[in-house]
Amino acid sequence: MRATERLSAQFEGARFPLFTAATARENGAMSQEQWTAVDRYITDLLVPSDPALESTLRASVEGGLPAINVAPNQGKFLAMLAQIQKAQNILEIGTLGGYSTIWLARALSAGGRLITLEADPAHANVARANIANAGLAGVVDLRLGPALETLPQIAAEGLGPFDFIFIDADKPAYPEYFEWAMKLSKRGSLIIADNIIRQGGVIDPNHEDPRVHGVRRFNELVAAEPRVSATAIQTVGSKGYDGFVMALVIAEP
């Protein structure tokens, strides 16, 4: 296989990743195959090809980033939520290669700004180039460093409150991210947290994975927070079996 053919195959894997045999056994091989096929159908039908977004995925593959970005249809879903919010100020916790960042930045209202937080310098370098390539360097502020260090800085700088907050980072820290999301929100803010089902592992209180413990605690905090109205949705697709929480802030934090 030529290098260009290998890259093309890797790029397709970033959009619609092939699962390992172990993952296929967990999910059911037939189910995963169908989920991926349906995601491809949805994307081909409703998510037009976009050079900047496709370049972002290619650059992420070339940079050795894990293929854990949101799927194209999920990216558009996030952008539509931000548009419904008429968001002028967006906070993203977890940049990776900037794929979801670009979707959200394009959804900003006129004059809006997006702050995205990334702990990994290599990921941040790839993301900065992708964001610039998409023509969004002027509206996106990428902060490098552990989010639990950069979030207090953002608060100290008075950069909130944010209309829309997307959490998609290290799962053990999700409880702390939610606490900061509340501090940086206002009545009417929308908080979205990805990957909170963990292939169903979230229902097991004795699960050994610290990521599961993190999202379980996060879900419990959301449920106990009287200032939000929230729900969670299970999802299946090219990214496997997972889900997200949507929390609307209904009272001033």
Per-residue pLDDT reduced to its tens digit, 201-247: 999 999 999 999 999 999 999 999 999 999 999 999 998 999 999 99
192, pLDDT greater than 90: yes
- Is residue 51 packed enough to be buried (19+ CB in 10 Å), middle (13-18) or exposed (0-12)? exposed
27, pLDDT greater than 60: no
> CA triplet 77, 102, 187: central angle to 5 degrees?
60
Residue 158's φ and ψ, nearest 5 degrees, are 70, 35
**By three-state DSSP, how is residue 26 classified?**
helix
pLDDT bin (cut points 50, 70, 90) of residue 3 is low
Per-residue pLDDT reduced to its tens digit, 85-97: 999 999 999 999 9
What is this structure's pTM?
0.88
Residue that wins the pLDDT comparison between 146 and 10:
146
Count of C-beta atoms within a 10 Å radius of residue 208: 8
pLDDT bin (cut points 50, 70, 90) of residue 19 is very low
Cβ atoms 175, 217 nearer than 8 A: yes
- Is residue 22 packed enough to be buried (19+ CB in 10 Å), middle (13-18) or exposed (0-12)? exposed
How confident is the model at residue 5, as a pLDDT? 59
Task: Please state, in angstroms and as integers, the Cα–Cα distance from residue 105 to each residue in 12, 74, 152, 163, following that order.
Answer: 24, 15, 22, 13
99, pLDDT greater than 80: yes
Per-residue pLDDT reduced to its tens digit, 64-82: 999 999 999 999 999 999 9
- Which residues, 6+ apart, have CB-to-CB distance to 78 below 8 Å? 70, 100, 103, 104, 107, 166, 192
Domains belonging to the chain, first-starting first, are 72-249 (3.40.50.150)
pLDDT bin (cut points 50, 70, 90) of residue 1 is low
How confident is the model at residue 106, as a pLDDT? 98
Per-residue pLDDT reduced to its tens digit, 116-159: 999 999 999 999 999 999 999 999 999 999 999 999 999 999 99
